[in-house]
Every structure is written in C-alpha cells, then in structure tokens.
Structure 1
Amino acid sequence: MTASLHIPGASLQVCELAALRATAMDGFGPWQTGALPGAVLVADFRPSMLSGQLRAFRSVAAAEALALIGWRVCLDGGWVALLALGAGAPVVVAPSHGDEGMSRVIDGLVRAHDLAEGLALAGQFEDPPLTPALCALDEIAAPGAALVIASGFEMPGAGLAARIEALSRAHHLRLLHVTDGGEPECPPTRGLFALDANLPPEHAAPYLSRALRLVPREGCI
C-alpha cells in the first residue's frame, strides 16, 4: 500500500475537487432544496479505502463523488457539511452555504485524506469499526437533511444495520458503496447504490444525480 500512495489517483488535490464545480453544474440535475435544505457528506478514508486497481483509490473516488454532490447542493442554495472518517480522529466541517462552504468541505476532504495517507505510511492498516464512528453525525446532521455516506463498508462493527435504519428515518439517506469494479454483495439496506471507482467524475455525475432522486428499493440499484 505504501508504495502506491504516490501514483496518480492516490491523493486528493484541492484544485481538482474545486474543478468539479463545472462538472456538477453541467452533468448533475438540480438539487431538491425545497424539501432538502442541505447535505451532510460522509467520507470513509479508513485504511481499506486506500486501494485501487485502475483509475483511482476508492477513497479518491468517494471524495470525488461527495464533491460533485456538495457542489450541486451549494449551486442550488443548500448548505453542506462534512464528516471524514479514518484510522485516527475524524475531520468535521460544520454546515455552511455557497462556494465558501464548499471550499471548507474540500479543504476538509484533502486534510483528512492526507492524514489517512500519513497513518498508512506509518503502518496503520487496521480499519476501526464504522458504526461507532457514525455517532459524530448526531451533532452535525440536522433532521430532514440529506445524508450521503461514501464507503466500502468493510469492518462495519456491531449494530450497523440498526444505525443505518435510524439514520434513514431522520434523513434522506443515500449509501454509496464504492467498489473497485464488479458487483458488490449488497446487504438488504434501503438507499444503497454501487459506485465503481473506475468511473471518472464526468461519467459518475449523471449516475449520482439519478441515484439521489430515485425511490430506493431493497438491495442494490
């Protein structure tokens, strides 16, 4: 893992995530700001996400997808917030509006990914469980807002299904299961969508736009 951290697609750059504003404007349908005033974006940068076979690490693809969603929300007048999870302390960005708010989210994504890379280089390869890490959402995810979690969902920890069910009752929940190609094994969870890390952002944008608006069914969509 450590040798591949320096190849293209293994790290995040502020300029690249900022440039996705244009992609979100052109390739993403309008956000439903009337019913959904904002979105909390959750990025999983735990060690298992720092891997990829072709275009990019799954962590990078997760950040790109969340940046696209965040830009679209801000362009339509909504607020954005961030919870970035890793092997260390989470990075939290409080809700804010507009380009400035999205810039804060991007800075948070890049900072969190840099921290994750540093921990991997130091030999931290074990994923902490996901379920307790999601407790931080209680302080930043206002009821009724959208909540988008981009993760590989490895090492879920005890009680993840119950936690997801509770979040889905309070929020417009979407789970982006970031894969490295192929079809994931999807648990019976509402609002779960597979996202192939090999898709470049301009190809992922229309898919993400549809996924956020479809009425979810059980399992994969």
Structure 2
Amino acid sequence: MVNTALDVPGIRLQAGELLALRGDAPRAGRAPPASRRPGAVPAKPAGAGMDLREIRAFAEGDDTRRIDPAATARTGTPHIRSFHEDRDETLLLIADFRPPMLWGTGATLRSVRAARRLALLGWRAVAQGTSLAAIGVGAGGVTAIPFGGGVRQMIRVSHMLASRHDHALESGGGALPLVEALIRAARLAPPGADVMIATGTDGIAREDEPALARLARRRRVRVLLALDPSETTPPSSPLPIHAGALTRFARLRPFDRAALSQRLRALNVGLEVLGDDAG
C-alpha cells in the first residue's frame, strides 16, 4: 500500500484516471479489423513487402538472401536490396518511473504527467486498431506487457503503469540506467514499430545511447520529454544555495531542448516536449 501522504492527485498515479482518458481519444467510426491484411485472424507479418526502398551496402546482421548481384558486381562490395515493410501498425510505450521522474514543482510529478500522455496515446492507438505493448522501468527493474490489441489490452497497460508507479513511490532507491529497458524494447518491438519513450531531461545517459541507436535502427523512436515548470519558466531572481556555513546565489536557466534534440537526432530519434501543468 502507498503511504497516505502520497495518496493525493498529482503524486499517486491511479489506474482509474488512465482508463478515463479513453473519453479524450477519438473513437473509430466502426470496429477496426483484426489485421490490415485480409482475413479475420491477425497473423504475423510475412516480412518485407514488394516495394523497393533502397539498395545499400551490406551491414552486419543483414539477410544474405537479399544481396543484389548487380550492385555487388558493380561496386566490388556486397550490397543488399531493402523493401518497405508489409506490417500491421504497432506501438510500444515506455514509461520511466525512476527516481528522477518522481518529483515536480507544479501540480503533478513528472512521472504522472508522462504516464497520462502515454495512456492517451495508447487509447488513440486502440481506437485505430493498432497493436499495443508497454514497458515500465523503475528502481526495481523492468516490467513489460507484450503486444496485444483492443480495450482489454489498454486496461492491462493502465493497471501496469499505476502498479509500477506505486512501487516506484514506495521503493525509492538509486537511478538505474535506461539501457535494460531499451534492450527489452528491441526484443519486443518488431521492425517498423513506433516506440514512445516518456522520460525526463536527465533520463537518457550517454551509456544508454548505443542501445537507443540500435532500437531506432529499424523503428520510429520518439522521446516524450516531461518538463517541470522550474525547467520551462525558472524564477528570474537568483536563488540561495546553502552548504554548511557557506551561501552562494545562482540563477536557473530554462532547459536547452535544442541541444537534446540535436543529440537525439544523431541517434535517429525524434523529440516531443510535454510542457508543464499550465502547458
């Protein structure tokens, strides 16, 4: 059970509030098909489609059966043909509930605001017939829900997010790297999937970048950045900093999102900013 002092809106994440966001998501005009391909039973995608996307140099891990003889003979180095994927729409949500996300100077914690946004994206995906999966990462480790569809899947995701958030509030502990969740995501999400990672300004460390780049190699990855009011509109006056008998004054600067955007762009990852409570 969560401490009663933490059981207040904006601090504790309730499954009910995530389920209620279904009303904010657009409803489909008719029930979506189980699969984008013909037939009533969803099936695993067969792989690449028939439309040529590019001919490029062979890289480690590529399928040797797709080597293009003409380009290989012309250049003297192995080249392969790659095709646009023939796949169903898939979305993987990753919620960061590590200690740096469990704070806020506004009406809600970073983690709560990020989870609400992920849930809204999840409900929109359900309305469009998209297959959905979710990962929650906290000081206690990584929890994953494999891909599924429909309202029942989103209900499972909502309860998982609320449960993992409760555990994060109670457990505390040090901030683990995000890399374990990124490795799990690469195993879970098929090529061509959309991946949304909700985290904070300090959520992606330098040691996470290789795993993030591998995840983004054949998937559309975006970071949903939950900003606190102190990071978007910090106080204009200097603030005192006390260390024993010493006192210094410092002025806070707004978070430089352009620098993070450039860093992520080099990894083939997009950035979406989730503003403070007022925004």
Q: Distance in 1 between matches of 2:176 and 2:213?
A: 21
What secondary structure is seen at the aligned counterpart in 2 of 1:92?
A: strand
Q: Which has the higher helix share?
A: 1
The percent of aligned pairs where both chains have the same amino acid is 34
Aligned to 1:15: 16
What secondary structure is seen at the aligned counterpart in 2 of 1:90?
A: strand
Aligned to 2:256: 185
Give the C-alpha shift of residue 162 in structure 1. 3.0
Moved more, 10-19 or 148-157: 148-157
Aligned to 1:112: 164
- Asked if structure 1 preserves the Cα contact closer than 8 Å seen for 2:102 and 2:110, the reply is yes
- Asked if structure 2 preserves the Cα contact closer than 8 Å seen for 1:39 and 1:73, the reply is yes
Give the C-alpha shift of residue 153 in structure 1. 4.6
Over aligned residues, Cα RMSD in angstroms? 2.3
Q: Which has the higher strand share?
A: 2
What secondary structure is seen at the aligned counterpart in 1 of 2:216?
A: helix
**In the alignment, is residue 44 of structure 1 matched against residue 96 of structure 2?**
yes
Question: Where in structure 1 are there 5+ consecutive unaligned residues?
Answer: 27-32, 204-221
The alignment covers a number of residue pairs equal to 189
Q: Distance in 1 between matches of 2:124 and 2:255?
A: 27
Higher relative contact order (CA 8 A, sep 6+): 1
- Asked if structure 1 preserves the Cα contact closer than 8 Å seen for 2:110 and 2:227, the reply is yes
C-alpha distance 3-16 of structure 1, shift in aligned 2 (>3 A): closer
Q: Give runs of aligned pairs for residues 58-137 of structure 1, distance below 5 A.
A: 58-120=110-172, 124=173, 126-137=174-185
Question: Where in structure 2 are there 5+ consecutive unaligned residues?
Answer: 28-34, 37-86, 233-253
What secondary structure is seen at the aligned counterpart in 2 of 1:25?
A: coil
C-alpha distance 154-54 of structure 1, shift in aligned 2 (>3 A): same
TM-score normalised by length of structure 2 = 0.62
TM-score normalised by length of structure 1 = 0.77
Give 1 or 2 for the bigger CA radius of gyration. 2
Amino acid at match of 1:10: I
